[in-house]
Amino acid sequence: MKSFNEIYEEIYKQNIDKLELLRKSKIKKFFIAMILAIIVIILAIQISAVFLPYILIIIMMILIFSMAFGNSKYKKTFKQTVIATLVKNIDENLNYYPEGKIGSVLYRQAEFESYDNYYSEDTIEGILEGKYEVKMAEVHTENESTDSNGNTHKNTIFHGMFGYIVK
């Protein structure tokens, strides 16, 4: 039987070309956006310094959004190709749902610590070895507090895999 690392490496090698293209595309788009931003800044300085702060803010927003959306495409492709295949290699009867969640009600039933914020994604579920019903997902819980200055702070309580198995 192959080890986890051997299976992962095999799957990753099968998908590296597609993932590498996405990564390079993201970098290329970022550099194009930076060059355009520099050109616009130079033109704005030449035209009028009054509009410069507004133009800078708009350019920064465009760069931030382009980076955020570029990363999500890579992440989505990685999950659909590498992680989904890895889960199927563990057991054909397991399914992976990147957008799937385990509800906070189920997490609360386990009677772990109390929390203020609950997030979940990357669900794996199915029948393991033909006899165990499995459902697990990434869970992130946080406590939220406000200090005397009115600043809100979030502290991670738990961030990891949570699930249940029923025979």
Name the residue ranges covered by the structural domains of the chain: 4-90, 94-166
Q: What is the pLDDT of residues 124-162, one digit of tens each?
A: 999 988 888 999 999 999 999 998 998 999 999 999 999
pLDDT digits (tens, 9 = 90+) for 25-79: 777 877 777 787 777 777 766 766 666 677 677 777 776 766 666 557 778 888 8
Please tell me the pTM assigned to this model.
0.64
| pLDDT reported for residue 131 | 87
Query: 13-42 burial by CB neighbour count: b if 16+ within 10 A, else e?
Result: eeeeeeeeebeeebeeeeeebeeebeebee
